[in-house]
Amino acid sequence: MALEAFVESLEGVDEHLRDEYAEVDGGFQLKILGNYVPKDKVEDVSGLKSALAKERENAKNASRTARELQEKYAGFDADELNELRAEREKAEEERAKKAGEWDKLKGQMVEKHAAEVADLNKKITDLTNAYDSQLIESDVVTAISAEKGNITLLSPHVKRHVQNVQDDAGKFVRRVVDDAGNPRVDANGNFLKVTDLVREMREQDIYASAFTGAQSSGGGTPPGGGDGDKGKGGKGGIPSNLQRGKMSPKEKVEFIKEHGDAEFQKLPA
């Protein structure tokens, strides 16, 4: 049994140990080598005891942890661990390198795709413009021919005010537009047709001379008529069964280029 260095009373001390204490002020002090240490000289070691107990517990826990780790990693080779780490680092470097190459390849693929899309869009635009031009050309030539106008002279002015658009039903139709590109309508609110535009131009002084019968030819000779047209072909080589209404726009244009507009106007409608 451990003896207290100082007690206020001997009642809690075994009788055979009471002689080990000397009476002092306020209680009894444990004697040391036949004498005693004054109370104020006795160092309080309770904190040291607590710290010692804690360290003993920590040592116990550390020993248990070390034993568990030893059991868990029994037979483990440190050199093997270092080798595995080196292999892992090398694999990560390879992945990073491949990722960089893939990013570069991906960028090239995206760039190539963008160029192909741009080229395709250009082709689509060109085809759309050609298609629009062909449809407009067909309607314009037909409308001018119906009004006995000079296709070569009138065509550029008519086409300038005609657009190919898609209506609400999804069909492509020709719309007559003003100088600002806005669709024109008649008194009833209906869209103007190309034939309406050509008839309107026939009544205007600036274009009247381009229509057969719209002005005096000065001696009974129709505009563009006379012997001068024979240089463009006249009736020579022109089939007698040709009819303007049965000719395609392309055939009309080719006929006018070869024989002249005057000969074209002479064909039966």
- Predicted pLDDT of residue 260: 76
- Predicted pLDDT of residue 144: 93
Instruction: For residues 244-268, give the mean pLDDT.
Output: 79
| 40-49: pLDDT as tens digits | 555 666 677 7
CA distances to 102, 119, 123, 164 from 127, rounded to whole Å, are 37, 12, 6, 13
Question: Is 226's pLDDT higher than 70?
Answer: no
Domain positions in the chain are 95-215, 220-269
Show contacts of 52-57: CB within 8 Å, 24+ apart: none
Question: Is 1's pLDDT higher than 70?
Answer: no
At residue 152 the predicted structure's pLDDT band, cuts being 50, 70 and 90, is: very high
Residue 21: how many other CB atoms lie within 10 Å: 20
C-alpha 109/C-alpha 119 separation (Å) is 15
- Predicted pLDDT of residue 195: 92
Q: CA-based angle 68:70:73, to the nearest 5? A: 105
Question: Is 221's pLDDT higher than 70?
Answer: no
Query: Is 63 in contact with 55 (CB distance < 8 Å)?
Result: no
Question: Is 198's pLDDT higher than 90?
Answer: yes
Higher local confidence (pLDDT), 154 or 269: 154
Instruction: For residues 164-181, give the mean pLDDT.
Output: 89
Indicate whether this model's pTM tops 0.75: no
Q: Which residues of 178-214 are buried (b: 16+ CB within 10 A; e: fewer)?
A: eeeeeeeeeeeeebbbbbebbbebbeeeebeebbbeb
Contacts of 203 (CB under 8 A, 6+ apart): none
Question: Is 27's pLDDT higher than 50?
Answer: yes
Question: Is 117's pLDDT higher than 80?
Answer: yes
